[in-house]
């Protein structure tokens, strides 16, 4: 679990330190949009299409 939080912290630091031409508002709005797309991709690929094995089904 610590790896997850450390990765999250590093990504947030990169988000605010990395030079870019986005405003703060665009930056804050981009996070939920990308997260939503990742969640949908995970749902379609791993759950519906069953391309990822999550372990034995009971």
Q: Residue ranges of the domains in the chain?
A: 21-58
Regions of the chain short of the pLDDT cut 70: 52, 54, 57-58
What is the distance between the alpha carbons of residues 38 and 36, in angstroms, rounded to a whole number?
A: 5
Burial class of 3 by CB neighbour count within 10 A (0 to 12, 13 to 18, 19+): exposed
pTM (predicted TM-score): 0.49
The predicted pLDDT at position 9 comes to: 93
């Amino acid at each position: 679990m610590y790896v997850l939080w450390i990765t999250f912290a590093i990504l947030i630091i990169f988000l605010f330190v990395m030079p870019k031409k986005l405003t703060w508002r665009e930056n804050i709005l981009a996070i939920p949009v990308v997260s939503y797309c990742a969640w949908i991709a995970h749902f379609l690929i791993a759950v519906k299409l069953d391309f990822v094995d999550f372990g034995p089904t009971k």
